[in-house]
Chain A
Amino acid sequence: MRSKKSSYLALWPAVLFGLPLGPPNAFSASPARSIAQEVDAGFGYVGGATTRGGGGNIGSVDEWNADLKYVLSPQITPNVLLRFGAEWQRSTFGVPDWAPVPSVLQQANAIIGFDYQLTDQWLLRAELRPGIYSDFKDVSWRDVNAPLLVGVAYLANADLQWFFGVRVDGRSHYPALPAVGIRWRFADDWTLNLVLPKPRLEHDLNERLKAYLSAAIEVDTFRAGDHFGDDQGRSDLNHAMLDYFAARVGLGLSWRIRPSVNVEADAGYMLHRRFNFFDQHLIFRSEPAPYVQVACHFRF
Chain B
Amino acid sequence: MSIAKPRPGGTSSCTQPRVQQTQLLLAARGQASKFLLLSLLVGYAATAGFALPNPVESLKRFSAFRSVDSARLVDGEILGERGSLMDFPQGITAQTCFVLPVTAAEAAQRLQTWDPSPHEALNVLAFSPIGLPCQGADFASLDLRSSNHALRWLLDKSFAATTGKSELNLTRDEARQLADCAKGNPAPQAVSACWAKLLLQRVALFQRQGFAAVPPYETSGKTISPADQLQAMLREKTAMTHEFAPLLMQSGVLGREPAPTLTPFYYWGLCEANRHGTLYLGAAYLLPLDDRYQILKAQYYVSGTYYTSVTLFQVWPIQVGEKSGALVWRGDFYAAPSLALTRGIDRLATGAIMLQELKKAIRCFQADVIAKRLTRN
Does B173 count as interface, using CB distance less than 8 angstroms? no
Closest Cβ–Cβ distance, residue A297 to chain B (whole Å): 12
Which A residues lie within 8 Å of B340 (CB)? 259
Give the distance in Å from the alpha carbon of A283 to the alpha carbon of B347 in the complex. Answer: 43
Contacts across chains A and B counted by CB atoms under 8 Å = 91
Give the distance in Å from the alpha carbon of A140 to the alpha carbon of B341 in the complex. Answer: 41
**Interface range, B side:** 35 or more
Q: Which residues of chain B from 340 to 355 have a CB within 8 Å of any chain A CB?
A: 340-350, 352-353, 355
Name the residue on A nearest B346 (C-beta): A3
User: Which of A26, A28, A81 is in CB contact (< 8 Å) with B344?
Assistant: A81
Q: Which residues of chain A from 28 to 80 have a CB within 8 Å of any chain B CB?
A: 28-30, 33-34, 36-38, 73, 75, 78-79
User: Which of A28, A123, A161 has most chain B Cβ within 10 Å?
Assistant: A28
- B344:A33 contact, CB within 8 angstroms: no
Closest Cβ–Cβ distance, residue B121 to chain A (whole Å): 10
- A299:B341 contact, CB within 8 angstroms: yes
Does B45 count as interface, using CB distance less than 8 angstroms? no
Give the distance in Å from the alpha carbon of A157 to the alpha carbon of B149 in the complex. Answer: 19
- B345:A260 contact, CB within 8 angstroms: no
Q: Given A1-B349, A188-B153, A260-B341 in contact, is the A120-B356 Cβ separation under 8 Å?
A: yes
User: Which of B81, B86, B342, B352 is in CB contact (< 8 Å) with A29?
Assistant: B86
- B338:A117 contact, CB within 8 angstroms: no
- A78:B81 contact, CB within 8 angstroms: yes
User: Which of B84, B338, B356 is in CB contact (< 8 Å) with A28?
Assistant: B84
Does B275 count as interface, using CB distance less than 8 angstroms? yes
Which B residues lie within 8 Å of A28 (CB)? 84, 86-87, 236-237
User: Which of B85, B237, B338 has most chain A Cβ within 10 Å?
Assistant: B85
Does A177 count as interface, using CB distance less than 8 angstroms? no
- A26:B84 contact, CB within 8 angstroms: yes
Interface residue count for A (Cβ, 8 Å)?
Answer: 37
Give the distance in Å from the alpha carbon of A300 to the alpha carbon of B86 in the complex. Answer: 15
Does A143 count as interface, using CB distance less than 8 angstroms? no
Give the distance in Å from the alpha carbon of A73 to the alpha carbon of B355 in the complex. Answer: 22
Does B359 count as interface, using CB distance less than 8 angstroms? yes
Q: Which residues of chain B from 314 to 351 have a CB within 8 Å of any chain A CB?
A: 338, 340-350
Does B80 count as interface, using CB distance less than 8 angstroms? yes
User: Which of A153, A155, A161 has most chain B Cβ within 10 Å?
Assistant: A155
Closest Cβ–Cβ distance, residue A59 to chain B (whole Å): 44
Does B17 count as interface, using CB distance less than 8 angstroms? no
Does B274 count as interface, using CB distance less than 8 angstroms? yes
- A121:B356 contact, CB within 8 angstroms: yes
Does B167 count as interface, using CB distance less than 8 angstroms? yes
Q: Which residues of chain A from 77 to 102 have a CB within 8 Å of any chain B CB?
A: 78-79, 81
Give the distance in Å from the alpha carbon of A259 to the alpha carbon of B342 in the complex. Answer: 10
Which B residues lie within 8 Å of A21 (CB)? none
Which B residues lie within 8 Å of A36 (CB)? 343-344, 347
- A29:B349 contact, CB within 8 angstroms: no
Does B297 count as interface, using CB distance less than 8 angstroms? no
Name the residue on A nearest B86 (C-beta): A29
Q: Which residues of chain B from 219 to 248 have a CB within 8 Å of any chain A CB?
A: 236-237
Give the distance in Å from the alpha carbon of A125 to the alpha carbon of B87 in the complex. Answer: 25
Does B82 count as interface, using CB distance less than 8 angstroms? yes
Q: Hey, what's the 0/1 contact readout for B235-272 against A, CB within 8 Å counting as 1? A: 01100000000000000000000000000000000000
Which B residues lie within 8 Å of A123 (CB)? 345, 348-349, 352
Name the residue on B nearest A34 (C-beta): B85
Which A residues lie within 8 Å of B153 (CB)? 188
- B149:A188 contact, CB within 8 angstroms: yes
Which B residues lie within 8 Å of A29 (CB)? 84-87
Does B89 count as interface, using CB distance less than 8 angstroms? yes
Give the distance in Å from the alpha carbon of A260 to the alpha carbon of B87 in the complex. Answer: 17
- B345:A125 contact, CB within 8 angstroms: yes
Does A2 count as interface, using CB distance less than 8 angstroms? yes
Q: Given A120-B80, A188-B149, A300-B343 in contact, is the A75-B85 Cβ separation under 8 Å?
A: yes
User: Which of B85, B275, B345, B357 is in CB contact (< 8 Å) with A27?
Assistant: B85
Closest Cβ–Cβ distance, residue A138 to chain B (whole Å): 38
Does A19 count as interface, using CB distance less than 8 angstroms? no
Give the distance in Å from the alpha carbon of A162 to the alpha carbon of B338 in the complex. Answer: 22
Give the distance in Å from the alpha carbon of A26 to the alpha carbon of B153 in the complex. Answer: 40
- A158:B274 contact, CB within 8 angstroms: yes
- B345:A157 contact, CB within 8 angstroms: no
Which B residues lie within 8 Å of A33 (CB)? 85-87, 89
Give the distance in Å from the alpha carbon of A141 to the alpha carbon of B338 in the complex. Answer: 45
Does A115 count as interface, using CB distance less than 8 angstroms? yes
Give the distance in Å from the alpha carbon of A96 to the alpha carbon of B274 in the complex. Answer: 54
Closest Cβ–Cβ distance, residue B339 to chain A (whole Å): 10
- B348:A3 contact, CB within 8 angstroms: no
- 30 interchain pairs (CB within 8 A)? A1-B349, A2-B274, A3-B350, A5-B349, A28-B84, A28-B87, A28-B237, A29-B84, A29-B85, A33-B86, A75-B85, A78-B81, A79-B348, A81-B344, A81-B345, A115-B345, A117-B82, A117-B352, A120-B80, A120-B359, A121-B352, A123-B345, A123-B348, A123-B352, A155-B349, A155-B353, A157-B356, A161-B349, A259-B340, A299-B341
In the A-B complex, the 5 residue pairs with the smallest Cβ-Cβ separation, listed nearest first, are A36-B344, A36-B343, A29-B85, A115-B345, A73-B344
Additional pairs, 6, CB under 8 Å, beyond known A155-B349, A299-B344 = A3-B346, A5-B345, A120-B80, A121-B352, A260-B341, A299-B343
